[in-house]
Amino acid sequence: MSEINRFVSRLLSNTDDAPDLLLQHLCSIQHHYSHIPEEAVQLLSERLHISRVEIVSIVYFYAFLHMHSQGDYDIRFSDNITDRMLGNLPLLESMCKKLGVKPGETRADGRVSVELTSCTGICDQGPALLVNGMAVSRLDERRIHKIVGLIEARIPVDKWPKKLFVIEDNIQRRDKLLEDVTTHGSAIEAFVVKGSDALLESVDKSGLRGRGGAGFKAATKWRICRDAPGKEHYVICNADEGEPGTFKDRILLNSYADVMFEGMTMCGGIIGAKKGFLYLRGEYLYLRHALEETLQERRDAGLLGKDILGQDGFDFDIEIHMGAGAYICGEESALIESMEGKRGIPRNRPPFPVSVGYKNQPTVVNNVETFVAAARIAVYGADWFRASGTEQSSGTKLLSISGDCTRPGIYEYPYGVSIRQVLEDCGAEDTQAVQVSGAAGFTIPPQEFYRTIAFEDVPTGGSFMIFNQKRDLLEMVKNFNEFFCHESCGFCTPCRIGGTLMKDLLNKVIVGHATAYDLNEMKKIGLLMKTTAHCGLGTTAPNPILDTMEKFPGIYSKRLLNRSYEPAFDLDAALEVSRHITGRDDEAAHIRYER
Ligand SMILES: Cc1cc2nc3c(=O)[nH]c(=O)nc-3n(C[C@H](O)[C@H](O)[C@H](O)COP(=O)(O)O)c2cc1C
Ligand code: SF4
């Protein structure tokens, strides 16, 4: 029996061989062999009764899986706009030069590969990279030199100096969620003492809305799920945190995991679920070990497993599922597909996961912060929570602040805080714009800094990126647009093609070849994407372009094709040709550009 056969057999013998675990098996194989060997694909295909083509398509879907060998040291530089602002590209170039490898390739001796990857969620301590899944922050020439030396000396990553891997929580402002250290098990005790209905009522009265973006009321979601018929019910915590500039779940997973698991267990008790999952983004692999330890401690303390806290029939346990580098898997139905071992292609909705979710059973999907807030509400009550925030946005919100400010990091504010206040607190000066809610969010100009963080004004999953007057905002727009093109799952045409068309037109603007016609085309395509794309990725992808065109028109108009070139060009002849070919007047302007 070959070594690969033994490895795959071991993987499958540890489980019930369910096809659902395919992605998890692929992650393990990738980790062990730095790619998915063909023999492993064949074995999985035979044993799980999934076609080879299906398995290969899954490997190609996820950025962290590869059919061809990566280097023994697999290096990925985070490429969010904030990493760019901190100089990630010159550092990548420097590392590639020192190692003698081209970006995006593996060195001939197979030792190392270096490439770019989407935001790794370390924007406050960037530029950052991942090496074999471990994060290194605060890169500079000295650190690059050190890493190159370790690689050339063939030192295994687990023997590298620990200080290279220090990622700080960097909490700058604490409020209701962060300042209190709830004792182990107190939310579960509250559940046992008050009972399921009373606790659901309390979450309802608190007005808690989802912290992952859409802001749906948590209690409503839990109630619908509880009442939906099904053989099993499930709880999923969405720790995919892929929105560029968002890193607040990272610190909750790192230092408040106990409270998060408590919230999930309580939700399980309320909806009648026996099983919960934490879907952890592949970029946070380095947090997994500690999370598994926390789960084990909770089992040992009787806070997970059978008859929790001695309550007959209160059974609930939590398993961690890894993502593998696909932003779209943060969308709840794509996440569920991914948990079922498939490509993360969003489902048609309705039906929503609350009634038809994981394994087609009723499933609650909530963000990490939502579960943490729910656990706090269980202990301190609805009124305590409602005392902060606004009418429609009760409680507090964690912001991940990065970009041009002197004190980036995590800030917890009551909802209703103004953008101006946040900028003042984090030491931002001469601010040109704030990008709230990530690449898919809103670009806020100075005349709107009076606006507030709240569902009824400027909602956010947590990302808050600051750009001063020296920044070229089109670089930001370009970075976000490329991000969406890269992360589109390709399922529907408006997003797949629309995104690429937008990218080409934006590049035309950047190099100074665009005309007013092109701007109009961008608007048309953007609106088409917003109204026809299949899921939230495609409907929000044009936001950075549409928003900046409206609020910062100058960054576009100043780059339009200089009219002084026109006399050298026979416009009338071009118009005539255009009319002749297309029968449409408006195409003429386009022909003018093409020349
Ligand atoms: C493209 C896309 C990516 C998303 N990524 C995340 C994510 O990383 N984390 C998250 O909690 N929600 C994300 N969401 C929202 C989820 O679909 C879902 O609404 C959320 O997990 C529900 O939890 P909540 O009600 O607690 O916010 C994403 C949505 C879309 C459309
Ligand atoms: S909008 Fe984009 S990400 Fe969403 S289904 Fe369509 S192609 Fe996939």
Q: Read off the pLDDT of residues 93-115 as tens digits, 9 standing for 90 and up.
A: 999 999 999 999 999 999 999 99
332, 400, 529: residue to mutate for ligand 1 pocket, most atoms within 8 A of CB: 332
- Distance between Cα 536 and ligand 2 center (Å): 8
- Averaged pLDDT, 382-397: 97
Q: Which pLDDT does position 213 carry in this prediction?
A: 84
- Least Cα distance to 400 among 374, 375, 434, 373 occurs for 434
* Strand, coil or helix: 217: strand
- What are 403's two structure tokens? 């970009």
Alpha carbon of 85 to those of 103, 431, 439, 442: distances in Å?
Answer: 19, 14, 15, 19
- The closest residue, in CA terms, to atom 2 on ligand 1 is 331
Ligand nearest to the CA of 529: 2
pLDDT band at residue 413 using 50, 70 and 90 as cut-offs: very high
Q: Which residues pair with 453 in a beta bridge?
A: 458
Cα 444 to its chain centre, rounded Å, is 21
DSSP bridge partners of 411:
173, 399
Q: How far apart are CA 331 and CA 308, in angstroms?
A: 31
Query: Which residue has 């902060």 as its token pair?
Result: 388
Which tens digit of pLDDT belongs to each residue from 27-68? 999 999 999 999 999 999 999 999 999 999 999 999 999 999
CA distances from 152 to 95, 98, 146 (A): 12, 10, 10
What H or E segment, with its residue span, contains residue 324?
none
Find the 542 Cα to ligand 1 centroid distance in Å: 18
Ligand 2: nearest atom to the Cα of 538: 1
Residue 584, pLDDT score: 52
Per-residue pLDDT for 265 more than 90?
A: yes
Amino acid identity at 213: G
Q: Residue 212 C-alpha to ligand 1 middle, in angstroms? A: 5
Q: How far is the CA of 346 from the centre of ligand 2 (A)?
A: 7
Give the pLDDT confidence of 431-447 residue by residue, as tens digits: 999 999 999 999 999 99
Q: Are 124 and 80 in contact (CB under 8 A)?
A: no
Q: What is the pLDDT of residues 19-28, one digit of tens each?
A: 899 999 999 9
- Site to probe by mutation for ligand 2, drawn from 534, 539, 543 as the one with most ligand atoms within 8 Å of Cβ, is 534
Tokens of 541: 């992808």
- pLDDT the model gives residue 576: 57
Q: What does the pLDDT read at residue 583?
A: 54
Closest atom, ligand 1, to C-alpha of 536: 31
Residue 189 and residue 186: Cα distance in Å, rounded?
A: 5
Q: Which band of pLDDT confidence, cut at 50, 70 and 90, is reported for residue 13?
A: confident
Q: Which amino acid is at 321?
A: H
pLDDT at 569 > cutoff 60: no
Pocket test for ligand 1, best of 238, 241, 485 (most atoms within 8 A of CB): 238
- Rounded to whole angstroms, how far apart are CA atoms 271 and 233? 7
210: how many CB neighbours lie within 10 A of its CB? 21
Mutating to test ligand 2, I would choose from 335, 493, 496, 529 the residue with most ligand atoms within 8 A of its C-beta, which is: 496
Which atom of ligand 2 lies closest to the CA of 496? 7
Q: Tell me, what DSSP letter sits at residue 119?
A: -
Mean pLDDT of 242-268: 97
Ligand 1 centroid to Cα of residue 184, in Å, is 27
Ligand nearest to the CA of 440: 1
> Could you tell me how many helices (H) and strands (E) the chain has, helices first?
26, 15
By the 8 A CB rule, do 288 and 253 touch?
Answer: no
Q: How far apart are CA 243 and CA 80, in angstroms?
A: 10
Cβ neighbours of 577 (radius 10 Å): 15
Q: What is the mean pLDDT of the chain?
A: 93
Higher pLDDT, 169 or 18: 169
Name 353's Cβ contacts closer than 8 Å, sequence gap at least 6.
Answer: 236, 332, 333, 336, 362, 363, 364, 365
Ligand at minimal distance from the CA of 484 is 2
Distance 432 CA to ligand 1 centre (A): 28
- In 363-457, which ranges are E strands? 363-367, 396-403, 409-414, 431-436, 442-444
470: DSSP letter? T
* pLDDT tens by residue, 187-231: 999 999 999 999 999 999 999 999 998 899 999 999 999 999 999
Residue nearest to atom 8 of ligand 2 (CA): 489
The Cα–Cα gap between 539 and 580 comes to 36
Q: Which residue, by CA, sits nearest to atom 8 of ligand 1? A: 241
**Ligand 1 atom closest to Cα of 241?**
8
Q: Whose CA is nearest to atom 4 of ligand 2?
A: 535
Q: Give pLDDT, residue 18.
A: 76
The three-class DSSP label of residue 84 is: helix
Q: What is the pLDDT of residues 460-477, one digit of tens each?
A: 999 999 999 999 999 999
Short-list 118, 135, 138, CA closest to 127 = 138
User: Rounded distance, CA 580 to CA 201, Å?
Assistant: 69
**H helix runs in 100-161, sequence order:** 141-152
For residues 109-125, average pLDDT: 97
Distance from Cα 274 to the centre of ligand 2, integer Å: 32
Chain position carrying tokens 């070139």: 565
Residue 420 has pLDDT above 50, yes or no: yes
> Do the beta carbons of residue 494 and residue 538 sit within 8 Å?
yes
Considering only CA atoms, which residue is closest to atom 28 of ligand 1? Answer: 331
φ, ψ of residue 41 in degrees (nearest 5): -60, -45
Residue 595 pLDDT more than 70?
no
pLDDT above 90: residue 526: yes
The pLDDT of 490-514, averaged and rounded, is 96
Output phi, psi for 75, to 5 deg: -110, 130
- Give the residue, by CA position, lying nearest to ligand 1 atom 29: 331
User: Which of these, 111, 198, 202, lies nearest to 154 by C-alpha position?
Assistant: 111
Helices within 256-403 (DSSP H only): 257-271, 288-300, 332-339, 368-380, 382-386
Of 153-157, 388-392, 433-437, 589-593, the least confident: 589-593
Q: Which residue has a Cα nearest atom 6 of ligand 2?
A: 492
Q: What is the pLDDT of residue 1?
A: 84
- Banded model confidence at residue 568, pLDDT cuts 50, 70, 90: very low
What percent of the chain is predicted at pLDDT more than 70? Answer: 93
| Terminal Cα-to-Cα distance of the chain (whole angstroms) | 64
Distance of CA 221 from the midpoint of ligand 2 (Å): 24
pLDDT reading at 581 higher than 90: no
Atom of ligand 1 minimally distant from the CA of 213: 27
Q: Are 551 and 476 in contact (CB under 8 A)?
A: no
Atom of ligand 1 nearest to the CA of 246: 8
Mean pLDDT of 553-562: 89
d(CA 127, CA 87): 7
Would you state the pLDDT for residue 184? Answer: 81
Q: What is the pLDDT of residue 565?
A: 35
Q: How much is the pLDDT for 275? A: 98
Q: Look at 133-142, 406-415, 554-563 and tell me which has the smallest mean pLDDT.
A: 554-563
Give the residue-averaged pLDDT of 349-378.
Answer: 97
pLDDT at 574: 46
Least confident range from 26-40, 274-288, 296-310, 580-594: namely 580-594
**Atom 23, ligand 1: residue with shortest CA distance:** 366
360: alpha, beta or left, given left = phi > 0 and alpha = psi -120 to 50?
left
Around ligand 2, the residues with Cβ closer than 6 Å are 328, 346, 488-492, 495-496, 533-535, 537-538
- Ligand 2 atom closest to the CA of 491, numbered from 1: 7
Q: Which amino acid is located at 522 in the chain?
A: M
